[in-house]
Chain A
Amino acid sequence: MTTETAARTLPRVTPRSFQHAGLLVVLVLIVAYAGVATDSFLSSNNLINVLRQVSVVAVIAAGLTLLMTAGGMDFSMGGNVAVTTAVAAQLLAHGRPAWLTLLVSIALAIVIGLVNGAVVTFTGVAPFVATLATATLLDGVALLVIDGMSVSIGEHLSTLGNGRTLGLPNLVFVAVLVLGLTALVMRYTTFGRDAFAIGGNEDVARLSGINVVRDKLLLYGLAGALAGLAGIMLLSRLAASSPGTGGLQLQLTAVAAVVIGGTSLAGGRGTVGGTVLGVLLLGVVANVLNLLQISSYYQQISVGAVLLIAAIANLVRRRRH
C-alpha cells in the first residue's frame, strides 16, 4: 500500500477505535478494581489462565461475529462443540491418531454448519428457530456418542491444551490467529464486505450481483468449522469429554460476548475488536467473581446483568447518531 492510500484509509480507522471506548473503560475499571480487591488477579499466572479460559469462547465468537454481521445466527455452535468433543474423545480413546481425529471431527463440524446453512437458506426458516432446533438435537447426539459418561483422552492433544510458546498458552495463539484472520476477512475481502451488505439489506445485496446463497452457505460452514476447532481446543484443555461439555451455556456466553461487542442482532454491523472486548469482559468478570469466592449463582446473575447493560448501552449509542 502506498503512503497516499494509507493516509486516505486512516481517517476511517480512527472513529472505529473510539466506537468501543465505553467498553474499554468498563474493562479497565473492572481490571483496576480486581487488582485492588484481590491479591492474585494481576499475577501473571492468573492473567494467563484467564486468557487460556476465554480462548475457546473467542474462537466461537469470531465465527458468530461474521455470521451475525451477515444477518445470520447460529445457536447450535455450542451443540456443535459438544458433538465434536464427544466424537474426538471417542476416536482418541479408541486409539485413532490425532491427525485423523482432527480431520474427522472438523469435517463433521463443517457438515453440521452446512446443514444449518442449507435449512436457513433454502427453506427460509428463521435462523434463530432453525439453529435452536439443531442445538437441542446436537446436545442429544453428543450425549449418545459418549453414552452419558466421561471419556478421557489421557495425554493426547496436551501440546495444544497445556503447552506454551514464549510463555503464553498455545490455545491463546490459536484464538488470536482466528480473531486476526476474521478481522482481516471482514475488512479486506469482498466475502467479508458481502456479509455487511447481506446483513444490511439482503434484497439489495442480491440485486447487486452478490451470490447470497453461496455466501450464506459459506458463512454457516465457516461457523461450523470454527465450532469444530473450538471443540478440539476445549477437549485438549479438559482432557476429557463429559456430559455438559460445550452446549447451550458455552453458546450463550459466545452470543453475549458478540452482542456486548456491539454486533447487531439485526445484521449489518459488527467488529471483531468489539467481540474481543466482549470476550475479555466476560472472562475477567467470571474470574474476578471466582477469586472473590462469590457463589456461582451470583456469577450467572452478574453475567446476565452485564449483557443487559451492554445491550442497552449499544442501543443508546446508536440512537445518538
Chain B
Amino acid sequence: MERTAGMRAEEAVLRVRDVTKSFGGAAALKGVSADFLPGEVHALMGMNGAGKSTLVQILSGVLSPDSGHLEIGGHTPRNPRQARRLGVSVVPQRRELVMTLTVAENIMLGDLPTSGPVVRWRSIRQTARDALHALGLEIDVDAVAGDLTVAEQTMVEVAREVRRGGRVLILDEPTACLGPEAATQIRELVTRLRDSGVAVVFISHHISEVLGLADRITVLRDGRVTWSGLAKETDERGLVRDMVGRDVVSRRPARTAEPSEVGLSIRRLCQGRFIEDFDIEVRRGEIVAVLGPAGDAQSRLFDLLSGRRRPESGTVSIAGRAIRSGSIDRSLAGGLRCVTGDRRRLGLIPGLTVDENLLLAQDRLDRRKLHRWGRLAERAAPLRDDYRVVSLVRNPPVEQLSGGNQQKVLLAKWLGTGPAAVLLEDPTNGVDVAAMAEIHTLVDALAAEGVAVLLASSSAEEVMRLADRVVVVRDGRRVAEHRVDDITRDELIATTLGGALR
C-alpha cells in the first residue's frame, strides 16, 4: 500500500523525491515523495500538523528541503518568485486580494499594461475579462474585491494565477466555510482547471469532497506518506485510517429525554436583505441547525445574537426572557454564548497565552479584579483536559497552536462559562478528522447538559451528524424545516441548493 504514485513519473510537471524537513530538531517531513501530473487533481490529506503545510511551502519555494529534491520541469526553485515563474502558485486559505481594488486590477496586479507611464485601463479590463471567461467565470471585472463573496474571491485568485501562467495550482482548503452552493461552484472550477491541463493540488479535510473530486490522493501522517494512489482505490474508512492511524467513529448519539422547555427563541428577526423575518425555537437539550446562510448572512446572525449589532426588528429570548438587543453585556448576562466561525477576527487574542484566552470571558463574567497567574493555570487546567488542548510547551501564546487546537480553545472559552444557550458557527472549521470527532462529542455533551444549541453550519455532513432538526435558509428566508432523522444527506443538500424534495 505504500507509495503507488510514480508509475507515470516521467509525465509529472512537479515532482518531489525523498524530501525531509525539520524545524529545530522536530521533523515535519520525513522522506516524502510525490508526483503531480498535468490534468490531474491531486489531493493532499492529513491531520493538522501532519506536514501538509510544510509540504505546500516546499512546493511553492517558501522553504527549501533539508534533503531530497524538488523539480519543476527540470528546474529547482530557490524561492517563491522562481517557483511562480516556473508555474507553481498557491491560493492560500486566507484570501490575498487587495480588497479595495477592483477585480480587474487584482487580476492584473504587478503586471499592469501601460503605455509609457500611463495605465491602459481598457486593456486591463479586457484582459481580466478574458481571464475570467477562459475559466467559465461570470464575475464583474469592475466590482471591488472586498464586496465579493468568499467563493468569488477564490475564483478571482485562481483566474489571476492561471493568467500568470500557473501550471501547478495549489488550493489550500478552498471550500472551507463555504455553503454547499458556493462549494459546488469551486469544485466545478477545479474540474475545469483539470480539464484545461493544470495540475491541481487540492487540500481539504472533507473526505467525501476529496473522494468525489480527486484523481489521486496522497495522505500524510506525522510527516510521512502513509498512502498514495488513485482515488478510486480507496474509500472513506481507508482514508481516515491512513490519516489518523486508527478508526474514528463519530455517530449521532440517541437523545434520551424528549426536550421540552424552550431554551432559545428568535422571533421575526430582520436585518437588511441578509435575514428576513427569521423565526426559530430551540428547546433545552436540543441541537437545531441553520443550514445555508454562509458568509454574510451567517455572520449577520452572529452579530445580532452576540449583541455586536442591533437588528432592525425582532426579539431574541433565552428561557422565555427577552434580551435587550444590540448589547454584548445583556447577551452574555442572559446566558447566551456565541462562538464565532472566524477565529482570527472574532475569536481569540493571538498574543495572549492559551490559559488567558481560555478564561478571557469567564474572568470578565466573574468581575475579577486581580489577575493571579497561579490560580489562572489551576482553573484553566480542567478546561484544557476536557477539550484536549495539546501544546508543545506548557502555556504558549495561543497563536502558536495548530488550527485544530485553537478551535478547541475557542470552544472551551465559551462553552466552559455555563451557558444557557449557544450559537455555534462552523465549529469544526479547518479542523482534522480526529479533532472534528472530539468537537462533535463535546457538542453532544453540551446538549445532554440541557443547553439549547443553535448550529449555524455550512456543512451538510456536520448538520447530519449533530443536529436534531435542521432549518434550511436561502436568501435570508427559511425555506424548509426537517427532522434530521427523516431526511438523507443528499436530500438535505438538494433542499439547500433549491431543488424540490420528492
**Chain A nearest CB, measured from B398 CB (Å):** 10
Known: A2-B374, A189-B370, A196-B349. A210 touches B338 (CB 8 A): no
Would B350 and A201 count as touching, CB distance under 8 A?
Answer: yes
Chain A residue with the shortest CB-CB distance to B338:
A207
**Chain B: number of interface residues, binned into ranges:** 35 or more
* Interface contact A197-B369, CB-CB below 8 Å: no
Least CB distance, A320 to chain B, in whole angstroms: 12
Contact: A197 with B328, CB < 8 Å?
no
Does B502 sit at the interface, judged by CB under 8 A?
Answer: no
Q: Among A188, A203, A209, which residue has its beta carbon within 8 angstroms of that of B329?
A: A209
Is B360 part of the contact surface with A, judged by Cβ < 8 Å?
A: yes
Contacts of A8 in B (CB 8 A): 373-374, 377
Within 8 A of A (CB), among B306-330: 306, 308, 328-329
Distance in Å: Cβ of A46 to nearest Cβ of chain B: 39
A201 to B328: give the CA distance in the assembly, Å: 16
* CB of A204 within 8 Å of the partner chain: yes
Q: Is the CB of B349 within 8 A of A6?
A: no
Interface residues of B in 413-452 (CB under 8 A from A): 413
A5 and B360: CB pair below 8 A? no
Cα–Cα distance between A5 and B355 once the two chains are bound (Å): 14
Q: Is the CB of A207 within 8 A of B375?
A: no
Segment at the interface with A among B119-127, B224-232, B276-284, B340-348: B340-348
A269 to B375, CA, bound (A): 23
> Which one of B328, B353, B370 contacts A188 once the chains associate, using CB atoms below 8 Å?
B370
Expressed in whole angstroms, the minimum distance between the Cβ of B227 and any Cβ of chain A is: 34
B residues in contact with A209, CB < 8 Å:
328-329, 332, 361, 364-365
Alpha-carbon distance A143/B345, docked complex (angstroms): 45
Q: Which residues of B contact A191 (CB under 8 A)?
A: 369
Asked if B375 and A5 sit within 8 Å, CB to CB, the answer is: yes
* Cβ–Cβ contact B364 & A6, under 8 A: no
Q: Are B374 and A268 in contact (CB under 8 A)?
A: no
Within 8 A of B (CB), among A1-24: 1-2, 4-6, 8-9, 11-12
CB neighbours (8 Å) of B306 from chain A are: 207
Task: Contact check, A204 vs B371: say whether CB atoms are below 8 A apart.
Answer: no
**Distance, CA A209 to CA B348, complexed state (A):** 13
Residue B356, interface by CB 8 Å = yes
Q: Report how far A188 CA is from B375 CA in the complex, Å.
A: 12
Pair A207/B346 contact, Cβ less than 8 Å: yes
Contact of B349 among A12, A190, A200 (CB under 8 A): A200
Chain B residues with CB under 8 A of A4:
374
Contact B349 A9 (CB under 8 A): no
* Nearest-Cβ distance from residue A215 to partner chain B, whole angstroms: 11
A317 in the interface (beta carbon within 8 A):
no
Which residues does chain A contribute within 8 Å of B394, judged by CB atoms? Answer: 11
* B273 beta carbon closer than 8 Å to chain A: no
- Min C-beta distance of B361 to chain A, whole Å: 4
Determine if B368 is an interface residue (Cβ-Cβ < 8 Å). Answer: yes
Q: Which residue of A lies closest to B372 (CB)?
A: A188
A221 and B351 CA atoms in complex are apart in Å by 25
Q: B374 touching A188 by the CB < 8 A rule?
A: no
Q: Which residues of A contact B350 (CB under 8 A)?
A: 200-201, 268
Inter-chain CA distance A156–B115, complex, in Å, is 73
Q: Is A203 touching B346 in the complex (CB atoms < 8 A)? A: yes
A190–B369 CB distance below 8 A: yes
The answer, yes or no, to whether B181 is at the interface (CB within 8 Å) is: no
**B373 to A208, Cβ gap below 8 A?**
no
Interface residues of A in 286-303 (CB under 8 A from B): none
Cross-interface CB contact of B328 among A2, A6, A207, cutoff 8 Å: A207
Using Cβ atoms and an 8 Å threshold, which residues of chain A touch B361? 208-209
| Interchain CA distance A4-B373 in the complex, whole Å | 12
Cβ–Cβ contact A1 & B374, under 8 A: yes
Check B369–A206 contact: CB distance below 8 A: no
Residues of A contacting B140 with CB < 8 Å?
A: none
Contacts of B329 in A (CB 8 A): 209, 211
Q: Is the pair B352, A197 in contact by a Cβ cutoff of 8 Å?
A: yes
- Which residues of chain B have C-beta atoms less than 8 A from A246's C-beta? none
Asked if B395 and A12 sit within 8 Å, CB to CB, the answer is yes
Set A6, A203, A207, A269: member contacting B351, Cβ < 8 A = A269
A12-B395, A190-B363, A209-B365 known; A197-B373 Cβ under 8 A:
no
Q: B374–A6 contact, CB under 8 A?
A: yes
Indicate if the CB atoms of B351 and A196 lie closer than 8 Å.
Answer: yes
Q: How far is the CA of A12 from the CA of B353 in the complex (A)?
A: 10
Q: Please, which residues of chain B bring their CB within 8 A of the CB of A190?
A: 363-364, 368-371
A26 to B348, CA, bound (A): 35
Contact A204 B351 (CB under 8 A): no
Measured between beta carbons, the chain A residues less than 8 angstroms from B364 are 190, 208-210
Extra contacts besides A5-B374, A206-B308 (8): CB < 8 Å: A1-B374, A5-B377, A5-B378, A8-B373, A9-B374, A203-B308, A204-B347, A208-B413
Listed A/B pairs (11) with beta-carbon separation below 8 Å: A5-B375, A6-B374, A8-B377, A187-B371, A190-B370, A193-B371, A201-B348, A204-B346, A205-B349, A208-B360, A268-B349
The list of the 9 closest CB pairs from A to B, nearest first, reads: A5-B374, A209-B364, A200-B349, A208-B361, A208-B360, A268-B351, A9-B373, A200-B351, A193-B371
